[in-house]
Amino acid sequence: MPDNQMMTCLWFDTNAEEAVDFYCSVFKDAKKGVVSYYGDAGPMPKGQVMMVRFHIKGQQFFALNGGPVFKFTPAISLVAVCEDQQEIDTTWEKLLAGGGREIECGWLTDRFGLSWQVVPREIMELHEKGDQRRIDQMMKAMMSGMKKLDLAKMKAAYYA
């Protein structure tokens, strides 16, 4: 039974468990949960992993092996909130491992095609202050070719 009322389902072709193991290696507080398998009722071969439950940073997910019908799109992304530049750097590099792709403005796509935003908590808090002039300065710094977010540069632009 789910721990909370809402979960995010991530649809994979056939590599859901591999993806969950990867995500659990990226985030120190991640935990793999129950793994269930297809039986005689299909639609995938009997014995193949059907679903894997897991948690990352207190958020509950399940990964589904549903076949090649659907693919991830950047229209949906997971946001990894980081406490400092070291956590940004570490999370960024781990998510890129094995074939991920940098995008821009703190976005990347991991090797499974899932889009992520790796964002410092402090930048989110500065946005919430609502000082539009400063937010615009910070956004200009970010939009000037920044792929992985640089907390020091963004703060310097905000406070300039």
For each of the domains in the chain, give its residue range(s) and CATH number, in order of start: 1-68 (3.30.720.100), 72-160 (3.10.180.10)
Cis peptide before 68 (omega within 30 of 0): no
| Closest listed residue to residue 65, CA positions, set 18, 110, 7 | 18
> Residue 3 — very low, low, confident or very high, per pLDDT cuts 50/70/90?
low
> Measured between alpha carbons, how far is 51 from 99 in angstroms, rounded to an integer?
24
Backbone angles phi, psi at 119, to 5 degrees: -130, 135
4 pLDDT more than 70: no
What letter would DSSP give residue 47? Answer: T
Radius of gyration of the chain (CA): 18
Helix (H) or strand (E) holding 57: none
Check: CB of residue 27 under 8 Å from CB of residue 82.
no
What letter would DSSP give residue 5? Answer: S
| Closest listed residue to residue 92, CA positions, set 144, 143, 147 | 147
> Measured between alpha carbons, how far is 35 from 1 in angstroms, rounded to an integer?
13
135 pLDDT more than 80: yes
> Measured between alpha carbons, how far is 74 from 50 in angstroms, rounded to an integer?
24
Tens-place pLDDT, residues 89-131? 999 999 999 999 999 999 999 999 999 999 999 999 999 998 9
pTM exceeds 0.85, yes or no: yes
- Residue position matching structure tokens 């300065």: 137
Tens-place pLDDT, residues 38-82? 999 989 999 999 999 999 999 999 999 999 999 999 999 999 999
Cα angle for residues 29, 33, 83 (degrees, 5° grid): 15
